[in-house]
Structure 1
């Protein structure tokens, strides 16, 4: 496969600048961002559970959309993985001679698009259809997740921007398709053992 960029990517200097800023930042800030970058996706899982719990009070249709959020996130991750296998872009930390906060992934762990950004964006967009408030919280968290992946040195800026776009587009499309079938699917599921997941 041919890498996305045969030469240095256009945002390579921006990546270097961000990593340099990270090296000059206070330790407490770097530590907080590194923890968020590594474990922040758990926040989206909590928001999904909260969205489902609240949606059950609204009705089976809302609960069904909430239950679909993690499935949509997995679908987005799958699309992202296919794109990675096509693009074959090396991690920036593998070629740039810079010290990064996070250990550089091994060769073959491709960079474009960012998995973390894709998962975060898919979660945020799908959650918007469950609860506007949760969607706003998740959107802010998704932007912070994307920025953190550059800050810790494992992605170029274009990797996380692409990840946000992939996650958002896949999630929006999947929810749009699901909502067209809600009037049929929700009543059917109410007659199955899954009813307990849909209604309080």
Structure 2
């Protein structure tokens, strides 16, 4: 049993060997980066913390989406944006990674393993040779949120409007989900006072 199993959450899928969870309740932060992390329903979390893999809490998911979208358009597309829209998207997309990615007591070996996973040919869209691992992660999750978890993006409506005339394609596809019929794994929810295990989004 892992730390995340101590509160309600849903299992989203996998990014390589790391499960992706969505908290359904709030755990207060004690300190940024604590092993037993704080999180709430506006976050996604990679890894379950104590008893599993150290957690990586993802904050401000609208910035993940903006980064993904901005990466998928042409310079001509960007020139057609109004100045207000362009400033809005750029401000969202270029938030410092340290504000988006909360590595909760990750050791150097765990960061190195994640890097090796990201550049592996087993990934559908591996990390480029000269690409930052953080950028690859943000775009991979941004694509997921844009297409499959719009309810977690508070700026979904405005971003969709800004990019509605652009050709956006899901080229990364690095997140996998369990096919229908597979046994559930991960996720829990307390319903009528009873803990129900195996709570999946998809």
TM-score normalised according to structure 2 size = 0.31
Per residue, is there more helix in 1 or in 2? 1
Higher-Rg member (1/2): 1
Bigger RCO (CA 8 Å, 6+ sep): 1
TM-score normalised according to structure 1 size = 0.31
